[in-house]
C-alpha cells in the first residue's frame, strides 16, 4: 500500500511538472503582483466599456442640445455636457474605442515591421544590418511626436493617418530590441545544430529565433500601447488626429481648453480617462516585465 501511494504521488508530481511551463510560471508570478493585476483589471474594464459603448452610453455622442450646453454633472448628465450640449459620458465611452483602437493597432503595426527588420538585421548582419540600423538611427534622430506631426501633415489630418504615423515612429524601438535579442541568440548551440543538419534560414528564424524573441516584444508592446494612446491624444489635441464629430479624448481636451475656468468638467473627465487608461497599461506592462524577465526573479 505504501509503495502504491508513493507511485501515485510520484505520478501526480510528474503530471504537475508536465503541465507547468514558462508561460504558466509567468502567469503565476503575474497573479502574485497585486499592482499588475489591478492594471489588468482596469484594462479589461476599459475594453469592456469600449465594446459596450452603444449599450451603456445614455445619449448619442453626436447629438447636440444647445439649450443644455456646458451643464455641470447631474443625474441627467453624469459627466456634464460640452459647449455644444453633447453628453460627455457618452463621448468618453465612444472615445475609449478610438483610443484603444489606435493604441493597439499602431503598436501591432510597429511590432510587425520592427520585428521583421530587427530579425533581418541581427541574423544576417553585414550590409543588411548596417542599412537597417542606419534607418533606425535616422528615425530616432527626430523627437517622436514631431516626426508623427510631420507625417500626418504630409498625409493629411485623419485618425487613420495618425495611426500610420504613430506606427512608423515606434518601429525603431521594436526593431532595435529584436535585433539585440537576435544577436544574442544566433550563436547559441541549438542554432548552430540547426544549421548543421541543413535547416534553412527561414526555418531557423521562424522556429527558433522568433519564438525566443517574444518575451521582450510582449513587454514592450504592452508599454507601447500606453505611449501610443498619449501620442494619439497629442495629435488629436493639435487637430491632426480624429476629426469632428469623432469623440477622441485628445480632441475633446482641445475643444474644451477655453472652458477650463468656467466648465472644468469638460477637461477633467477626458483627462482622467487618458490617465487611467495609460496607467492601466503601464502597470500591466511592469508586471509582465517582472514575470517574464528571469533576471527579475529571486
- Domains belonging to the chain, first-starting first, are 32-54+90-296 (1.10.3720.10)
Q: Identify the residue with better confidence: 8 or 228.
A: 228
Region 34-50 average pLDDT:
91
The kind and range of the H/E element at 132 are helix 126-140
* Nearest alpha carbon to residue 163 among 89, 94, 241: 241
In the structure grid, which three cell numbers stand for residue 240, read together?
491632426
Note whether 223 and 271 are within 8 A (CB): no
Residue 274 has a pLDDT of 93
Q: 77-122 pLDDT, tens per residue?
A: 999 999 889 999 999 999 999 999 999 999 999 999 999 999 888 8
DSSP alpha helices (H): ranges in the chain?
2-19, 22-32, 34-51, 53-56, 88-124, 126-140, 144-155, 159-169, 171-185, 189-196, 201-204, 214-237, 249-256, 265-292
Q: Is the peptide bond before 217 cis (omega within 30 degrees of 0)?
A: no
Q: What is the pTM of this model?
A: 0.83
Residue 7 has a pLDDT of 52
What share of the chain in percent tops pLDDT 70?
A: 90
SS3 199: coil
Residue 109 has a pLDDT of 93
Q: 57-80 pLDDT, tens per residue?
A: 999 998 888 888 899 999 989 999
* Nearest alpha carbon to residue 159 among 93, 91, 236: 236
Please check the confidence at residue 233 and state whether its pLDDT lies above 50: yes
Mean pLDDT of the chain: 85
Please check the confidence at residue 130 and state whether its pLDDT lies above 80: yes
In the structure grid, which three cell numbers stand for residue 3, read together?
509503495
State how far the Cα of 100 lies from the Cα of 228, in Å rounded to an integer: 9
Q: Identify the residue with better confidence: 160 or 207.
A: 160
Contacts 24+ apart (CB under 8 A), 74-79: 79/265, 79/269
Residue 228 has a pLDDT of 92
Contacts of 90 (CB under 8 A, 6+ apart): 53, 57, 58, 59, 60, 61, 247
Euclidean distance between the first and the last CA atom of the chain, given in angstroms as a whole number: 39
Amino acid at each position: 500500500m505504501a509503495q502504491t501511494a508513493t507511485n501515485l504521488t510520484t505520478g501526480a508530481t510528474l503530471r504537475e511538472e508536465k503541465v507547468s511551463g514558462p508561460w504558466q510560471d509567468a502567469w503565476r508570478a503575474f497573479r502574485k503582483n497585486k499592482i499588475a493585476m489591478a492594471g489588468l483589471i482596469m484594462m479589461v474594464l476599459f475594453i469592456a466599456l469600449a465594446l459596450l459603448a452603444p449599450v451603456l452610453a445614455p445619449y448619442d455622442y453626436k447629438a447636440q442640445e444647445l439649450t443644455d450646453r456646458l451643464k455641470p454633472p447631474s443625474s441627467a448628465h453624469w459627466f456634464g455636457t460640452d459647449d455644444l450640449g453633447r453628453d460627455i459620458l457618452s463621448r468618453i465611452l465612444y472615445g475609449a474605442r478610438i483610443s484603444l483602437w489606435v493604441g493597439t493597432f499602431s503598436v501591432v503595426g510597429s511590432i510587425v515591421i520592427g520585428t521583421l527588420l530587427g530579425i533581418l538585421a541581427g541574423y544576417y548582419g553585414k550590409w543588411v544590418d548596417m542599412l537597417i540600423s542606419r534607418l533606425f538611427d535616422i528615425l530616432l534622430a527626430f523627437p517622436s511626436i514631431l516626426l508623427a506631426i510631420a507625417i500626418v501633415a504630409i498625409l493629411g489630418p485623419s485618425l487613420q493617418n495618425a495611426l500610420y504615423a504613430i506606427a512608423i515612429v515606434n518601429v525603431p524601438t521594436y526593431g532595435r530590441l529584436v535585433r539585440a535579442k537576435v544577436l544574442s541568440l544566433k550563436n547559441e548551440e541549438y542554432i548552430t545544430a540547426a544549421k548543421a543538419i541543413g535547416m534553412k534560414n527561414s526555418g531557423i528564424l521562424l522556429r527558433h529565433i522568433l519564438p525566443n524573441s517574444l518575451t521582450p516584444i510582449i513587454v514592450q508592446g504592452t508599454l507601447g500601447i500606453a505611449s501610443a494612446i498619449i501620442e494619439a491624444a497629442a495629435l488629436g489635441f493639435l487637430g491632426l488626429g480624429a476629426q469632428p464629430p469623432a469623440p477622441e479624448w485628445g480632441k475633446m481636451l482641445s475643444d474644451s481648453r477655453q472652458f477650463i475656468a468656467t466648465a472644468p468638467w469638460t477637461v477633467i473627465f477626458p483627462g482622467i480617462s487618458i490617465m487611467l487608461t495609460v496607467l492601466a497599461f503601464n502597470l500591466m506592462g511592469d508586471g509582465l516585465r517582472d514575470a517574464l524577465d528571469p533576471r527579475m526573479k529571486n
